[in-house]
């Protein structure tokens, strides 16, 4: 081609070359994407794999829920046995305090009885001493009367 025609065609050829390079790059990208993209078999199996993962997760959640339920039941049993032990201790304390109060009352009654017996004994002793004193006084009076 003559020089002048070549120069006139140069922008067109440059544009054509750019477009061709873009197509080649695009095709290379598509090829790369196809290489990275799963095969039809793999793509068809993907929902099954996802479903299996979901089922496995659901099983794990159910198992964890069961373990949590067991732990909750055990905690309730532990709490109940703790409450039962606490109630037993309260009952035992109440029994001990009631017993101590009854013993104190009984001892108080015994002490009152002993005090009363002692007072009666002292009263009797005092009465006897008074009688003895009176008898002595009477004897002295009689002796004095006898001496007069």
Q: What is the pLDDT of residues 75-131, one digit of tens each?
A: 777 777 778 888 888 888 888 888 888 888 888 788 788 888 888 888 888 888 888
Within this chain, do residues 91 and 33 fall inside the same structural domain, yes or no? Answer: no
Q: What is the pLDDT of residues 100-112, one digit of tens each?
A: 888 888 887 887 8
Within this chain, do residues 56 and 125 fall inside the same structural domain, yes or no? Answer: yes
Report the run of H or E that residue 93 belongs to, with start and end. helix 40-147
Within this chain, do residues 55 and 117 fall inside the same structural domain, yes or no? Answer: yes
Within this chain, do residues 30 and 57 fall inside the same structural domain, yes or no? Answer: no
Give me the number of domains the chain comprises: 2
Q: Which residue has the tokens 């099954």?
A: 48
Domain housing 128: 38-147
Would you say the pTM of this structure is higher than 0.85?
no
Within this chain, do residues 113 and 50 fall inside the same structural domain, yes or no? Answer: yes
Q: What is the pLDDT of residues 34-53, one digit of tens each?
A: 666 556 666 666 667 777 88
DSSP 38: P
């Amino acid at each position: 081609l003559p020089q002048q025609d070549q120069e006139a065609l140069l922008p067109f050829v440059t544009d054509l070359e750019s477009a061709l390079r873009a197509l080649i790059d695009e095709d290379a990208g598509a090829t790369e994407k196809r290489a990275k993209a799963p095969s039809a078999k793999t793509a068809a199996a993907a929902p099954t794999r996802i479903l299996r993962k979901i089922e496995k997760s659901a099983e794990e959640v159910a198992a964890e829920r069961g373990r949590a339920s067991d732990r909750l039941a055990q905690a309730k049993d532990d709490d109940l046995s703790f409450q039962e032990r606490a109630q037993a201790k309260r009952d035992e304390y109440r029994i001990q305090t009631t017993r101590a109060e009854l013993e104190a009352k009984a001892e108080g009654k015994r002490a009152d009885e002993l005090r009363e017996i002692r007072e009666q004994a002292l009263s009797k002793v005092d009465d006897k001493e008074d009688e003895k004193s009176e008898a002595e006084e009477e004897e002295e009076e009689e002796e004095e009367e006898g001496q007069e």
